[in-house]
């Protein structure tokens, strides 16, 4: 009984493999997929997949490896060249070309390669050109969140460094201090590195600068790491001793299974009163022993009164000017940090039609509008047209398949203006009450 079961199993396996063996024996092209990274992989971990295309005899053109979409993951095809292979199957020689994809899962679960087509030409018969193509098999990749990695960035290494543009112990009121934070991570893309959280400080105005993201790639290795550089400018409005809080980023190494924290230490600043803020005593006015020739007593009185008036006005101006200047600067700062100011900068970015600049300006405005991100604001308040335009922008920046038409910022801006108008009307109770009133002349 057991022997018959074994024989039936062998017959079934042979019947399943026979068509593939016959195809290869007949000299048909085929594809091999090898997941180089052991499974299951962790969320955020780079997965290397080797895809090899084989043809009988030799290639007449290189295979066109596509950059396909994979929901729940970022797919890249590093520009590191291809690898030439040779194989012999059933006594027949096959030539192969291999490329390596790098896939970074963004969520836990199962990922399956899509049926992407790879086209090429080859010599089925020596000297004759034959068009060919192969389809990727549904290779599965198991993705999980490692225990202890909840809420942490997954990377094989992460470091945080800090630098200041001046000595924080020698500041005066109105001075600025630029704090530069560089986060370097291995095994992930720069867009995956979270921004550091600069906490507000009483008596200090914060001016965040645009971050700089940079990926690092090497031949044959593909993406090896990335850096994120953030700059924060602190302006000290009052004298005193200040403590700029430390910055931290939690990360998890999926290889060692250990959780770690990178940090930049707190900064102590000492701010002295600016000389312009000191109240000075007007000097004594010299009184001549006797009137100068040609001046009467009433003339001297007018001269002394004029001098006192001029000195008083000068002292008052010296006292009020720095305060008025700080008040004007503070008012300008508040205006620059309003939601309307951020939206004006977003308009300017859209006129430039630069996708990356538009995305950064849109994200900065959305955060100023008290949303978690640009996608969060669009999801909660955007119209269908805005969602389509924003989705097109994200596909242009992060998708693996380029859009068929050149991207234009004008449709996105038009949809944003309409959605923002609706959002402001619902946000303002007075405007909402006025809009609910019936028409005066129905």
Residue for token pair 């640009």 = 374
Three-state secondary-structure class, residue 406: coil
Mean pLDDT of the chain: 81
Confidence of residue 400 (pLDDT cuts 50, 70, 90): low
Measured distance CA(198)–CA(177) in Å, rounded: 14
Among 124, 144, 107, 105, smallest CA distance to 55 is for: 124
DSSP one-letter code for 191: G
**What average pLDDT does this structure show over 188-212?**
90
**What average pLDDT does this structure show over 242-264?**
89
For residue 222, the model assigns a pLDDT of: 60
Residues 6+ positions from 256 with CB-CB distance below 8 Å:
none
Which stretches does DSSP call E strand in 247-382? Answer: 247-253, 258-264, 267-272
Comparing 120-124, 140-144, 190-194, 281-285, the range with the smallest average pLDDT is 281-285
Among 50, 82, 44, smallest CA distance to 219 is for: 82
| The pLDDT of residue 434 is above 50 | no
| The pLDDT of residue 392 is above 90 | no
Comparison of pLDDT for 337 and 122, the residue scoring more: 122
This prediction's pTM: 0.46
Confidence of residue 395 (pLDDT cuts 50, 70, 90): confident
Structure tokens at 94: 């096959």
| The pLDDT of residue 178 is above 70 | yes
Measured distance CA(63)–CA(96) in Å, rounded: 10
Comparing 116-120, 122-126, 253-257, 428-432, the range with the smallest average pLDDT is 428-432
End-to-end CA distance of the chain: 91
Comparing 61-70, 122-131, 220-229, the range with the smallest average pLDDT is 220-229
DSSP one-letter code for 82: -
For residue 71, the model assigns a pLDDT of: 87
| The pLDDT of residue 300 is above 90 | no
Confidence of residue 25 (pLDDT cuts 50, 70, 90): very low
Residue for token pair 């010296």 = 318
Q: How many CB atoms lie within 10 A of CB 358?
A: 24
| The pLDDT of residue 315 is above 60 | yes
The helix-helix angle for 410-427 and 384-398 (nearest 10°) equals 130
Q: Using omega within 30 degrees of 0 as the cis cutoff, is the peptide bond preceding 283 cis? A: no
Per-residue exposure over 47-84, b if at least 16 CB sit within 10 Å of its own CB, e if not: bebebbbbbbbebbeebebbebebeebbbbbbeeeeee
For residue 404, the model assigns a pLDDT of: 64
**What average pLDDT does this structure show over 221-235?**
85
Structure tokens at 120: 């090429």
Comparison of pLDDT for 434 and 92, the residue scoring more: 92
Residue for token pair 């993406």 = 223
Share of the chain above pLDDT 70, in %: 83
DSSP bridge pairs for 50 = 34, 100
Confidence of residue 51 (pLDDT cuts 50, 70, 90): very high
| The pLDDT of residue 393 is above 60 | yes
Residues 6+ positions from 142 with CB-CB distance below 8 Å:
39, 40, 41, 110
> Percent helix, strand, coil in the chain (nearest 5)?
35, 35, 35
**What average pLDDT does this structure show over 230-236?**
95
Domains of the chain in start order, with CATH, are 28-144 (2.60.40), 153-273 (2.60.40), 339-436 (no CATH)
Helix or strand holding residue 371 (H, E)? none
């Amino acid at each position: 009984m057991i022997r018959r079961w074994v024989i039936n199993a062998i017959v079934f396996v042979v019947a399943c493999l026979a068509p593939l063996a016959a195809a290869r024996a007949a000299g048909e092209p085929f594809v091999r997929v090898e997941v180089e990274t052991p499974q299951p992989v962790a969320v955020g971990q780079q997965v290397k997949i080797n895809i090899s295309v084989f043809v009988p005899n030799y290639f007449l053109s290189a295979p066109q490896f596509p950059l396909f979409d994979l929901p729940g993951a970022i797919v890249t095809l590093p520009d590191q060249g291809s690898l030439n292979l040779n194989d012999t199957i059933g006594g027949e020689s096959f030539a192969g070309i291999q490329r390596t994809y790098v896939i970074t899962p963004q969520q836990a679960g199962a990922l399956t390669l899509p049926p992407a087509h790879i086209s090429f030409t080859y010599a089925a018969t020596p000297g004759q050109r034959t068009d060919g193509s192969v389809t990727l098999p549904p290779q599965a990749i198991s993705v999980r969140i490692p225990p202890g990695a909840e809420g942490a960035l997954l990377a094989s290494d992460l470091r945080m460094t800090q630098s200041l543009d001046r000595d924080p112990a020698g500041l005066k009121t109105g001075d600025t201090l630029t704090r530069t934070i560089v986060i370097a991570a291995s095994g992930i893309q720069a867009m995956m590195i979270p921004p550091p959280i600069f906490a507000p400080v009483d008596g200090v105005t914060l001016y965040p600068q645009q971050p700089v993201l940079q990926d690092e790639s090497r031949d044959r290795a593909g993406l090896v790491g990335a850096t994120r550089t953030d700059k924060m400018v602190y302006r000290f409005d009052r004298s005193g001793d200040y403590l700029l809080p430390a910055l931290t980023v939690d990360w998890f190494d999926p290889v060692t299974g250990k959780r770690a924290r990178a940090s930049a230490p707190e900064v102590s600043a000492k701010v002295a009163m600016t000389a312009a803020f000191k109240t000075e005593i007007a000097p004594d006015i010299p009184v001549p022993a006797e009137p100068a020739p040609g001046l009467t007593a009433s003339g001297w009185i007018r001269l002394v009164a004029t001098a006192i008036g001029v000195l008083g006005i000068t002292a008052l101006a010296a006292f009020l000017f720095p305060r008025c200047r700080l008040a004007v600067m503070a008012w300008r700062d508040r205006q620059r940090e309003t939601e309307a100011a951020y939206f004006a900068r977003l308009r300017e970015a859209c006129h430039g039609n630069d996708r990356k600049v538009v995305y950064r300006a849109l994200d900065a405005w959305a955060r100023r509008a008290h949303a978690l991100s640009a996608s969060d604001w669009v999801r909660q308040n955007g119209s269908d047209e805005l969602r389509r335009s924003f989705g097109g922008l994200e596909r242009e920046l992060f998708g693996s398949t380029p859009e068929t038409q050149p991207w234009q910022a004008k449709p996105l801006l038009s949809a944003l203006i309409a959605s923002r108008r609706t959002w402001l009307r619902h946000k303002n109770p007075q405007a909402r009450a006025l809009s609910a009133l019936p028409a005066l002349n129905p």
